[in-house]
């Protein structure tokens, strides 16, 4: 009965899945830096969201315009005397809002279509494939630009435009594993036991592709932030006076010769945000892959 | 003859394709009595698994059952709606798969998987957990309470197969189809699992169909053996007759290819020359003719399955004329 005893030991020793994942994530360098950078930027954004910025990011103080970095204004002020740090923090909050909503929409719709087209036959796969191929044919930014310029512009329509651009990625990324899982013995076994389709889809298939979806969500967040910034740089993002990282960089570009500090804060948080999310995605991908599990 | 538990008549399974349809299972007739234990034997590709999947109506395109009927306890399965059929699967007909390593959902605890096999058929949740523990105990799982909380990767192959059997048997099905349930296990565990299923089916008077390519496995398990070859039933007879007086040359050759360490008169590993027919090959006459030592002119016409001794066989050549 040694195998049984070994099995019991294994049951007892295995730490909870979430704790193990966290440990594995923090053990890798990219995972660690991803968590730190993302946490810092998220912190800044959350502070701005609850109004805890050093100054009001919108109201103008002409007396203090175009000031360099100082104790009062850590990253200086812009041509309207607004605190660059406060505006950058508010910009993070805006792009977070846009990116989160965009990614939720594209993850939910994309994953749903991906699972359905992977699980059901060609009648579903055909149309879904055609649609994703059409969306894929356009460069993401161009498509987002076109979509964003159609509707009345506010943060939500920008989010929807970005969401549409990133739906096909989720379809592709989830469909492939569903295609192979559909043939897995435990899915066949579920059919043999008489489980209805929706139960098989949501109780058996979905949890098994969740790691892939989670990694894709993290990476898509960084793309969404970048796309949102690009749109607002081009003047099609969240409309002013709401601070947005892209439009701040655009304004700073015109002032770079006389007030180079205006570029620093928005550029820096944007880089930290995107690099952090990418590293986090990489780290999560490694941590969620059971093949990388090291037995320490 | 409606006192049969399972009655298959003229079952034809076809592989549909753009280039035309191909028959893979060619008109199977089969009757299984309540409480009987049947072995279905054949090489890979002989159609044994397809036949069983058709009984459960689990063939998926491009495979399709194009002719024939299946009755379970007098109920015409081919006439049921998909929802009615689903209700039947796992409650009245259950199936145990060959590979316990991959047949359990890796992300669900063992107990939950047994519970789900019941809640999917309307058993209330609070009752299901207690019943799951009882079923795990019935399949001789040591310490069911603790095992129920384990994940599949924490169990050995034999334990996983027990868990899988528990999911199949927890609704007390009247018919169990065991499709090579021991292929992936080592020999000692194999024996344990075989003994366990035999014991369980005898205990609950459950009709069991063993599907296997290994005659040795079923010798002591079944009452009757059906031998399939190339999508046809070639012999169907009581187990004693199959082993001691086979009525079809293929059965004879299958028996001879069983390793027999005590018989020095035979080569240690006999084989049947040639290979089983591909579904795309259209062999004229008897499907076994190209590989058969007894083949003669009559074999150019396909023999029907006809009564021979205590069973049925599909061969033109009487046993006493065999070389």
Chain B residues in contact with A14 by the CB 8 A cut-off are 151, 154
pLDDT score for A13 = 46
Q: How confident is the model at residue A118 (pLDDT cuts 50, 70, 90)?
A: confident
Q: How, if at all, do strands B75-76 and B93-96 pair?
A: unpaired
Least confident of A182-196, A218-232, B309-323: B309-323
| DSSP assignment of B76-106 | EGGGS-HHHHHHHBTTTEEEE-S-TTTSS-T
Q: Which residue of A has its CA nearest to B167?
A: A193
- Higher-scoring residue by pLDDT: B185, A104: A104
| DSSP assignment of B45-79 | TSSHHHHHHHHTT---TTEEEEEEEEEETTEEGGG
Is the bond into A241 cis (omega within 30 degrees of 0)? yes
Distance CA B300, CA B151 (A): 56
Per the prediction, chain B carries an average pLDDT of: 83
Nearest residue to A186 via CA among B152, B30, B306? B152
Q: Side-chain half-sphere of A266: how many Cα atoms within 13 Å?
A: 32
**Cα separations (Å) of A72 from A48, A69, A83?**
18, 8, 9
Instruction: Determine the residue among B120, B166, B193 to mutate to test chain A binding: the one whose Cβ has the most chain A Cβ atoms within 10 Å.
Output: B120
Distance CA B90, CA B228 (A): 26
Which distant-in-sequence residues (6+ apart) come within 8 Å of B43 by Cβ? B213, B229, B276
- Higher-scoring residue by pLDDT: B285, A220: A220
Least confident of A63-72, A78-87, A230-239, B31-40: A63-72
Which helix (H) or strand (E) is B313 found in, with range?
strand B311-313
Question: Does residue B122 belong to the interface with chain A, where contact is any CB pair within 8 Å?
Answer: no
Contact A193 B168 (CB under 8 A): yes
| DSSP assignment of B17-50 | -TT--EEEEEEEEEEE-TT-EEEEE--TTSSHHH
Contact B89 A194 (CB under 8 A): yes
Strand order across the B75-76 sheet: B22-32, B6-15, B63-72, B75-76
Instruction: Determine the residue among A3, A5, A7 to mutate to test chain B binding: the one whose Cβ has the most chain B Cβ atoms within 10 Å.
Output: A7
Q: Is B15 helix (H, G, I), strand (E, B) or coil?
A: strand
Nearest residue to B101 via CA among B153, B162, B165? B153
Q: How confident is the model at residue A137 (pLDDT cuts 50, 70, 90)?
A: confident
Q: How far is B5 from chain A (nearest CA, A)?
A: 19
Nearest residue to B96 via CA among A55, A193, A198, A123? A193
Nearest residue to B179 via CA among B5, B277, B39? B39
Per the prediction, chain A carries an average pLDDT of: 81
Is the bond into B62 cis (omega within 30 degrees of 0)? yes
Nearest residue to B167 via CA among B120, B107, B222, B221? B120
| DSSP assignment of A116-166 | HHHHS-HHHHHHHHHHHHHHHHS-HHHHHHHHHHHSPPSHHHHHHHHHHHH
**Cα separations (Å) of B24 from B48, B60, B89, B237?**
10, 14, 24, 23
Chain B residues in contact with A10 by the CB 8 A cut-off are 150, 154
Question: Does residue B56 belong to the interface with chain A, where contact is any CB pair within 8 Å?
Answer: yes
Q: How far is B246 from chain A (nearest CA, A)?
A: 34
pLDDT (tens digit per residue) in B93-136:
888 877 777 888 888 888 888 898 888 888 888 888 888 888 88
Q: How, if at all, do strands B93-96 and B175-179 pair?
A: parallel
Chain A residues in contact with B156 by the CB 8 A cut-off are 3-4, 6-7
- Highest mean pLDDT among A170-179, A236-245, A283-292, B21-30 belongs to A170-179
Which distant-in-sequence residues (6+ apart) come within 8 Å of B77 by Cβ? B55, B57, B69, B70, B71, B85, B88
- Higher-scoring residue by pLDDT: A101, B102: A101
Q: Which percentage of chain A shows pLDDT scores above 70?
A: 91
pLDDT (tens digit per residue) in A200-212:
888 888 888 888 8
Q: How confident is the model at residue A16 (pLDDT cuts 50, 70, 90)?
A: low
pLDDT score for A41 = 87
Q: Which percentage of chain B shows pLDDT scores above 90?
A: 0
Q: Do residues A189 and B104 lie in contact, with contact meaning Cβ atoms separated by under 8 Å? A: yes
Q: How far is A182 from chain B (nearest CA, A)?
A: 12
Q: How confident is the model at residue A111 (pLDDT cuts 50, 70, 90)?
A: very high
Distance CA B22, CA B282 (A): 10
* Cross-strand pairs, B179: B211
Q: How far is A126 from chain B (nearest CA, A)?
A: 16
- Judged by phi (left if over 0) then psi (alpha if -120 to 50, else beta), residue B180 lies in left
Q: Which residue of B has its CA nearest to A197?
A: B86
Output the furthest CA–CA distance in chain A (Å, rounded): 83
pLDDT higher than 60, residue A138: yes
Backbone phi, psi, residue B72, to 5°: -115, 120
Contact B120 A196 (CB under 8 A): yes
Which distant-in-sequence residues (6+ apart) come within 8 Å of B45 by Cβ? B230, B276, B278, B279
* Cross-strand pairs, B176: B94, B208
Distance CA A210, CA A78 (A): 44
Q: How far is A132 from chain B (nearest CA, A)?
A: 25
**Cα separations (Å) of B196 from A151, A178, A260, B158, B213?**
67, 35, 80, 11, 20
Question: What is the arithmetic mean of pLDDT over A244-259?
Answer: 81
- Higher-scoring residue by pLDDT: A141, A103: A103
pLDDT (tens digit per residue) in A154-164:
888 888 888 98
Q: Where are the alpha helices (DSSP H) in chain B?
A: 48-55, 82-88, 110-119, 125-138, 144-147, 157-169, 187-203, 215-218, 239-244, 249-256
CB pairs under 8 A between A and B: 85
**Residue B282 DSSP label:** -
Distance CA B136, CA B162 (A): 8
Q: What is the ipTM score, two decimals?
A: 0.73
pLDDT higher than 50, residue B51: yes
Contact A189 B99 (CB under 8 A): no
Q: Do residues B170 and B131 lie in contact, with contact meaning Cβ atoms separated by under 8 Å? A: yes
Q: Which of A11, A186, A194 sits opposite B120 (nearest CB)?
A: A194
Least confident of A11-20, A242-251, B149-158: A11-20
pLDDT higher than 50, residue A295: no
Chain A residues in contact with B95 by the CB 8 A cut-off are 192
pLDDT score for A6 = 44
Question: Does residue A208 belong to the interface with chain B, where contact is any CB pair within 8 Å?
Answer: yes
Question: Does residue A8 belong to the interface with chain B, where contact is any CB pair within 8 Å?
Answer: yes
pLDDT score for A100 = 92
Tokens describing residue B40? 């279905």
Q: Where are the alpha helices (DSSP H) in B239-291?
A: 239-244, 249-256
Q: Which of B102, B154, B156 sits opposite A184 (nearest CB)?
A: B102
Distance CA A281, CA A95 (A): 18
pLDDT score for A7 = 44
Contact B95 A196 (CB under 8 A): no
Q: Which residue of B has its CA nearest to A186?
A: B103
pLDDT score for A51 = 77
pLDDT (tens digit per residue) in B298-316:
787 888 888 888 888 888 8
Q: Which of B99, B150, B158 sits opposite A185 (nearest CB)?
A: B99
pLDDT (tens digit per residue) in B199-242:
888 888 889 998 888 787 788 888 899 998 888 888 888 888 88
**Cα separations (Å) of A266 from A62, A81, A195, A275, B4?**
21, 16, 53, 14, 79
Q: How confident is the model at residue B266 (pLDDT cuts 50, 70, 90)?
A: low
Contact B90 A203 (CB under 8 A): no
Q: Which residue has the tokens 């019935």?
A: B138
pLDDT higher than 90, residue A106: yes
Torsion sign across C-alpha atoms B203, B208, B213, B216: positive
Contact A194 B121 (CB under 8 A): yes
Nearest residue to A22 via CA among A37, A38, A41, A35? A35
């Amino acid at each position: 009965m040694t195998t049984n005893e070994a099995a019991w030991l294994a049951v007892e020793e295995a730490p909870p899945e979430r704790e193990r994942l966290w440990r594995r994530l923090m053990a890798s360098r990219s995972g660690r830096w991803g968590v730190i950078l993302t946490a810092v930027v998220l912190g800044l954004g959350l502070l701005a969201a609850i109004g805890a910025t050093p100054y009001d990011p919108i109201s103008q103080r002409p007396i203090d315009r175009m000031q360099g970095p100082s104790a009062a204004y850590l990253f200086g002020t812009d041509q309207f005397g607004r605190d660059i740090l406060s505006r950058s923090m508010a910009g993070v909050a805006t792009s977070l809002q846009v990116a989160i909503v965009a990614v939720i929409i594209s993850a939910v719709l994309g994953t749903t279509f991906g699972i359905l087209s992977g699980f059901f036959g060609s009648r579903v796969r055909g149309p879904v494939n055609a649609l994703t191929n059409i969306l894929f044919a356009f460069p993401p930014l161009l498509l987002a630009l076109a979509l964003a310029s159609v509707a009345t512009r506010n943060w939500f329509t920008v989010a929807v435009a970005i969401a549409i651009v990133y739906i096909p990625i989720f379809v592709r990324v989830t469909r492939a594993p569903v295609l192979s899982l559909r043939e897995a013995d435990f899915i066949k076994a579920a059919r043999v036991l008489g489980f209805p389709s929706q139960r098989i889809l949501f109780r058996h298939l979905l949890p098994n592709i969740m790691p892939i979806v989670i990694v894709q969500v993290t990476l898509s967040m960084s793309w969404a932030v970048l796309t949102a910034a690009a749109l607002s740089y081009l003047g099609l993002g969240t409309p002013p006076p709401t601070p947005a990282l892209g439009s701040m960089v655009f304004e700073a570009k015109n002032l770079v010769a006389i007030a180079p500090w205006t570029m620093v804060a928005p550029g820096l948080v944007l880089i930290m945000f995107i690099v952090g999310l990418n590293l986090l995605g990489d780290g999560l991908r490694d941590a969620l892959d059971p093949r990388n599990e090291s037995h320490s | 003859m409606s006192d049969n538990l399972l009655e298959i008549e003229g079952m034809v399974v076809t592989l549909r394709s753009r280039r035309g349809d191909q028959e893979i299972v060619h008109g199977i007739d089969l009757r299984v009595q309540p409480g009987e234990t049947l072995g279905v034997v054949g090489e890979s590709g002989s159609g044994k698994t397809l036949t069983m999947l058709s009984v459960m109506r689990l063939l998926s395109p491009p495979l399709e059952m194009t002719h024939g009927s299946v009755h379970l306890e007098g109920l015409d399965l081919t006439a049921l709606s998909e929802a009615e059929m689903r209700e039947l699967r796992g409650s009245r007909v259950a199936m145990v798969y060959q590979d316990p390593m991959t047949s359990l959902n890796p992300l669900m605890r063992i107990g939950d998987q047994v519970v789900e096999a019941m809640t999917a058929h309307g058993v209330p949740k609070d009752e299901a957990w207690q019943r799951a523990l009882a079923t795990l105990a019935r399949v001789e799982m040591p310490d069911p309470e603790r095992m129920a909380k384990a994940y599949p990767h924490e169990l050995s192959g034999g334990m996983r197969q027990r868990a899988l059997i528990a999911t199949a048997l927890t609704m007390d099905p009247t018919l169990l189809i065991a499709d090579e349930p021991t292929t992936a296990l080592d020999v000692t565990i194999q024996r344990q699992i075989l003994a366990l299923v035999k014991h369980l089916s005898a205990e609950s008077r459950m009709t069991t169909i063993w599907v296997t390519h290994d005659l040795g496995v079923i010798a002591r398990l079944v009452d009757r053996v059906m031998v399939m070859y190339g999508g046809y039933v070639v012999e169907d007879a009581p187990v004693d007759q199959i082993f001691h007086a086979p009525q079809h040359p293929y059965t004879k050759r299958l028996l001879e290819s069983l390793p027999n360490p005590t018989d020095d008169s035979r080569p240690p590993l006999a084989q049947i020359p040639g290979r089983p027919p591909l579904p795309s090959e259209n062999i004229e006459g008897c499907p076994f003719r190209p590989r058969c030592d007894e083949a003669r002119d009559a074999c150019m016409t396909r023999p029907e399955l006809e009564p021979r001794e205590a069973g049925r066989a599909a061969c033109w050549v009487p046993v006493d004329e065999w070389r």
